[in-house]
């Protein structure tokens, strides 16, 4: 039976009360906290750095933190986010000159390794790197801004990645990020995803975090029956 994990993307949270927002969403049933790190170079937006993560750890946040680096270069940020308290660090293959070196840095600092794929990024990197990975992140929107619509052609890409993982017979997590909501999460799950990065659909829901996450779980539970 597949285990589904909800990763709450704080890009959609209220940053004036970020510590409280994270505590509330974890208490409401989220499994992971997702950090979208943008540098205004690799993607056209500027978000947060390792100091924010460090501050949240000092505030008392103990939840699993998944850092998605949308930046170029990445190696210094890998080290700084690992030191600040990240658990999982994902980066894009296009963002580094030496993918193996960046993967080694993540491992050396005790974090799980993720490789992220933009909608148009080919999957051939996995031919050489899959045995080094703990997580594969498939972007279902073009990265840079919250609140975008899920790109339908990404279903095929999710399915391809799942087949690659199954063929290798390794416990690699398949994470999908972008435009996920109550209407499409069940279908996304059927194509093979097991971690769902959700921002606006949680933090900007008309319902409470607890009710919103409960409704998401109800949709995911339909897959298991």
Catalytic residue IDs? 36, 177
53 CB-near residues (< 8 Å, 6+ apart): 35, 65, 67, 81, 84, 85, 86
Give the H/E segment covering residue 224: helix 209-224
Q: How far is CA 79 from the centre of its chain?
A: 18
Phi/psi for 70 (5° steps) reads: -110, 70
C-alpha 81/C-alpha 79 separation (Å) is 6
Q: Taking the C-alpha atoms of 141, 224, 156 and 162 in order, what is their torsion angle to the nearest 10 degrees?
A: 100
Joined tokens for residue 189: 């799950």
C-alpha 42/C-alpha 138 separation (Å) is 17
C-alpha 140/C-alpha 149 separation (Å) is 8
Residue bearing tokens 């998401």: 216
- Please give the radius of gyration of the chain, using alpha carbons only, rounded to the nearest integer: 16
C-alpha 191/C-alpha 71 separation (Å) is 28
DSSP state for residue 141 in the 8-state scheme: S
Joined tokens for residue 82: 């690992």
């Amino acid at each position: 039976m597949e285990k589904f994990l909800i990763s709450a993307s704080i890009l959609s949270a209220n940053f004036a009360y970020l510590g409280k927002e994270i505590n509330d969403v974890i208490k409401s049933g989220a499994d992971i906290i997702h950090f979208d790190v943008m540098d205004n170079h690799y993607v056209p937006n500027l978000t947060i750095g390792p100091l924010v993560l460090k501050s949240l750890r000092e505030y008392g946040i103990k939840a699993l933190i998944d850092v998605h680096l949308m930046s170029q270069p990445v190696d210094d940020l890998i080290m700084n986010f690992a030191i600040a308290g990240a658990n999982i660090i994902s980066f894009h293959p296009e963002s580094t000159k030496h993918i193996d070196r960046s993967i080694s840095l993540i491992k050396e600092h005790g974090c799980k390794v993720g490789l992220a794929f933009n909608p148009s990024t080919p999957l051939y990197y996995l031919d050489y790197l899959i045995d080094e990975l703990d997580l594969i992140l498939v972007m279902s929107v073009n990265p840079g801004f919250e609140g975008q619509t899920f790109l339908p052609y990404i279903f095929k890409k999710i399915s391809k990645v799942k087949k690659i993982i199954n063929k290798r017979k390794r416990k690699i997590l398949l994470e999908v990020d972008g435009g996920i909501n109550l209407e499409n999460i069940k279908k996304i799950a059927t194509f093979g995803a097991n971690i769902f990065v959700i921002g606006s659909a949680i933090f900007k829901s008309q319902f409470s975090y607890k009710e919103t996450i409960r409704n998401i779980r109800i949709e995911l539970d339909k897959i298991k029956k």
